[in-house]
Amino acid sequence: MNYDVKKFLELRDFLLNVQNYDEAVENFKWPHLTKFNWALDYFDAMARGNNDTALIYCDENDNERKVTFDIMSRRSSKVANLLNDLGLQKGDRVMIMMDTSVEIFEILLGIMKAGGAIIPAATLLSPKDIRDRIERGNVKFFISHHDYSKRVNEAGVILETLKAKICVRSSQEKQKCDNENIEPNWVDYSETDNYDDDFSPFFITYSTDDLFLFFTSGTTAKPKLVMHPHYYPVGHLTTMYWLDVQPGDIHYNISAPGWAKFAWSSFFSPWNAKATILAFKYSQFNAKSVLEKMEKYKVTSLCAPLSVWKLFLLEDIGKYNLSLKKMVSAGEPLNPEIVNKAKEAVGLELREGYGQTETTGLVATFKGMKRKDSAIGKVAPGYEVKILNNTLDEVKRNEDGQIAVSTYPIRPLGLLTGYDDPERNKEIFKGGWYLTGDTAFMDEEGYIHFIGRVDDVFKSLDYRISPFEVESEIMENPAVLEVGVIPTVDDRDRIVPKAFIVLKPDFQASKQMALEIFRFIRDHIGPYKRPRSIEFLEEFPKTISAKVMRKDLRQYDKSLKNDKKRGEQEYFESDFAKELNLRRK
């Protein structure tokens, strides 16, 4: 065992067994790694001869596959040998556009072994988006499920820059396509069966070589390419500690393969802990079906975003015989209402975590830690996080500022090396800090309270408005499923909050419902941050990671104002002047 792997395992074992958060923070120190390939140096060494279950795959048609660590290691070596034979060189970038499947896990490992750099892609991308990502990502290989190969082909002439395109067919696709040939100029993934299940690299992997390159979800601007090197899996020890995933756990993370949370919680963290991963493929999310699978496969550890918890809580969770021991949420801040209802339904504390595509687990409510309403939690071991003002001075406790991560004298192994944009890098790396672009405050006990994206927070009548804060208060209304708050202008050209609302299935949008919600708002929300208009929507525009696209809501509202129109289901507080006893100010 080489020095770098030894240091990684020592740190991993420490976090698996540490007794409390304070001990973890005091004794966690990032190792200095020089030569490290997680798939070759760690996973293969752990997996060979290991017949414990690494992966349980299932789908909505009751298909099921269980894969041992040993088989996963051998299959991924076949993938590495295929890629090597197709001409993959160290550092070549490989884009993956696939659904949840057994194959995606062996492909991720295989690319790492072969020295490639991985660019995950959402399966909803258009040909134009695919073309843009191939070009900006300097992609040399493309691996796609058969269902998406035609869309990839429509990306056009840019495909001529690729060394190879590989088509993966699921068992269902193979049944449908027995009489069809693979798309012209595509390699059939089944060719991996013809390769050796041992792989010997002909290169050295340095810890700073590129490994994962993620396109951000683009909630406020064009997606950026975020670069992480081969020490990135070690950075996810902080994520593993937050999840509290342990050997023997069956861990289920509800996430699409096209974004960073899949790497966080469906790949590195559980296998860092030698836990079993549950991978459930469905065409459309159905809370009842997911809960049934969690019951059947005795899931002990669950990670799900806010949008999923909202749907879970519409179900009678108590009727399921769940084996859960821990449950967490990340992606968007949790509303206290959701946390309390989740505990009532399951009997466990729903612990929040915060991080970005650019980081690993950064701030969280860790195991054994007291949960605090409206707080994300405390800073993860190995990170130094401060709340800074515009001149990079630390603000006082309970004052707003930007969440910043120290990069000096020690750069955390979970932090991005940079974007594909040098000018943008100058904006986010300043004075020994990485600036997250998120606003928060830290209280006297060291808990961090999230406010919102710097771009989302706005002023109304000289008051600072946090969309998340207003959304959390509206979420307490029993009719509301989701809410998104943005700035708009009223009839006197003043900036005021507007709330877009998606109702629960048993409630209908109407003028009467709008009146009831305005009454609720007046009873529960301070006048300075009270939405002066609401608009009911069937659903929100969202990123692939289920985050509300507030920039789209703002653009839509701006178009209404420019055309001097109101939305089809938009209501103003002034519409109910008599009922609400309003006085003109």
Which pLDDT tens digit goes with each residue over 288-298?
999 999 999 99
- For residue 220, what pLDDT is reported? 47
Task: Name the helix (H) or strand (E) containing 462.
Answer: none
If pLDDT is split at 50, 70 and 90, which confidence band does 531 have? very high
- Position 539 confidence tier, pLDDT thresholds 50, 70, 90: confident
What's the maximum distance between 2 C-alpha atoms anywhere in the chain? 79
Please give the average per-residue pLDDT across 179-199, as a whole number: 87
Most confident of 21-30, 147-156, 181-190, 566-575: 21-30
Residue 7: DSSP 8-state: H
Say yes or no to pLDDT of 524 above 60.
yes
- The pLDDT, as a whole number, for residue 391 is 95
Contact at 8 Å (CB) between 209 and 229? yes
Q: What is the distance between the alpha carbons of residues 554 and 339, in angstroms, rounded to a whole number?
A: 28
Beta-carbon contacts of 38 under 8 Å, excluding residues fewer than 6 positions away, are 112, 230, 233, 234, 268
Q: What is the pLDDT of residue 219?
A: 46
HSE at residue 230, side-chain half, CA atoms within 13 A, is: 29
Rounded CA separation 401/174 (Å): 54
Domains and CATH numbers, the chain: 33-54+63-231 (3.40.50.12780), 458-576 (3.30.300.30)
Residue 276 half-sphere exposure, CB side, CA atoms within 13 Å? 19
Determine the Cα angle at 371 with ends 368 and 373, to 5°: 175
Helix axes 127-137, 146-153, angle to 10 degrees: 80
CA 438 – CA 401 distance, rounded (Å): 8
Q: Encode pLDDT of 58-107 as tens digits.
A: 999 999 999 999 999 999 999 999 999 999 999 999 999 999 999 999 99
Q: pTM for this structure?
A: 0.83
**What pLDDT, in 10s, does the model give residues 92-145?**
999 999 999 999 999 999 999 999 999 999 888 889 889 989 999 999 999 999
- At 562, list the tokens: 């420019």
Q: Select the more confidently predicted residue: 467 or 234.
A: 234
Burial of 459 (0-12, 13-18, 19+ CB in 10 A): exposed
**Confidence at residue 8, expressed as pLDDT on a 0 to 100 scale:** 97
pLDDT at 398: 94
> Which of 38-42, 212-216, 306-310, 491-495 holds the top average pLDDT?
38-42
